[in-house]
Chains A and B, each alone.
Chain A
Amino acid sequence: MKREVATEIVDSLKEAGVDFVASLTEANLHDLVMALGEDKAIHHVPVTREEEGIGICAGAYLGGKKPAMVMMNAGFLLSTNALATVCIHPGIPVLMLIGHSGGVGEENAGHATVGALTEPVLQAMHIVYEKVGCFEQIRPTIRDSQMLARSSRRPTAIVLNKQALR
């Protein structure tokens, strides 16, 4: 990810009202995670496991924060029970930014299965998501996905493919 993409995502999150972000890094998310750590307007919590981040975001929401979770799709798949029990069941929103390993543009064969499972699992969980593949889509998609998360009291997701993350 180029630094200007990371800056665009952080600025878009702030413009959408997000003030609290949990993250688990990965090579493609590195610049974003570092930018989140430097931003004074966002409380950034690096976590050890993605489902932990879902719990932290849900707790922050109950205390009046507007949370988001940054992770790769492997972490989303790991978080499905947390999302079901902590967010969807009681009605707690969290905006998820999910890097799409194994999506279009993937070079590493090892990510293919996780990549192929990501959208079907989002659909099976009835989580509304948008796919972002270019710089211009970042800002409006973050704004609208956050709007829906808040109004529906449900998690929403933005799936960032390799092109968006480059």
Chain B
Amino acid sequence: MTELEYFLGLDYNTWWFLVVGAVFSGYAILDGFDMGAGALHLFIKGDENRRIAFNAIGPVWDGNEVWLVIGGGTLFAGFPEVYATLFSAFYIPIILFLVLLIFRAASIEFRSKEEMSWWRTTWDVSYCISSILLAFILGILLGNVMQGIPLDSDFEFAGHWLGFLNPYAIIVGFTTLALFMMHGAIYLSLKTKGKLLTKVTHFVRYTVIGFVIMFIILSFYTMLYLPEQTQIFKEHPTLFIVPILMVLTISNITRLIAHRKYFPAFLFSGITICLLLIVAALNLYPNILVSTVAEANTLNIYNAAASQKSLGIMLTIASIGAPLAIFYSLFVFWVFRGRVELDEHSY
């Protein structure tokens, strides 16, 4: 292996692991709320209310999805082995994910273009179902990455093409869905008012309960069947602060909603997503794709990485580009701050 390059005491590979992690966290937080809002869509009744729900995510969903594009790019760029192995291993779920993304985009794009109620209902249903399935598939993929997949000595996937459907992954899938629904409900509480807001605050209450239940099931399942996942906490007991923080954040969300502090609540649900992914990253590091066949076949941040030269170039690109990208996002959110109004002078 070539000499590792360092920046501020961390090697380039670790830096890029952090970059990929940060971009996917950003994606989960941003697209998470519009997928979550989409998953709740059919519970919102009445054409005008549904249009408010669409307009709540209207100016931002496209920018949110760009984080996925960047995430895919950073993974391809920094860890091409992982990109190649992971995407070819989960061929069918990834193709379904892509098709659902298209359906979702089409639903948002086309829904309000016609007034016929069958037209609007069709797109409402396709929007809601595709949002639910997208969140679920993301969770399935995360669950599989967390517990590892069979990889042979060439780092090629050696399992069954349906292997992605296993109990742990399905539990993570439902947990992700519940988490996004909670996050989306809180986002909608920022954007709605009146009767719809009252209804949305009910959504928040139910989805918080749903998420907590799923989180408890996931934790118990992990402790019972995947004890190696908790290894990191035994080795570094100080890291227990992360799950404790998470419990505090979640209980804080309910308190904030009860006090009508919707924006802080939204920040805290974003922090919850972030903490969950930090736990996942802590468990994995320095591995990315653990082989369940033999330890030597595991892809980690060193054997899966691009060259030091390439990582160096990309870290330079990222340190210039990332602040710009974050600035654009914040600017757009600032321009469209406040609640959705549907009069003829609204946006």
Q: Do A and B come from one complex?
A: no
